[in-house]
Amino acid sequence: MARRVTIEVDDEVAALLAASAAEAQISEGELVERALRAMDLRSLVAQIRQRSELDEDAALQLVNAELRAARAERAA
Q: How far is 54 from 15, CA to CA, in rounded Å?
A: 39
Residues 25-49: pLDDT tens digits? 999 999 988 888 887 877 877 777 7
pLDDT of residue 34: 87
pTM above 0.75, yes or no: no
Domains in the chain: boundaries? 11-75
Say which residue, 2 or 64, is predicted with more confidence.
64
pLDDT score of 33:
87
- Return the pLDDT at 18: 96
The answer to whether 47 touches 37, Cβ cutoff 8 Å, is: no
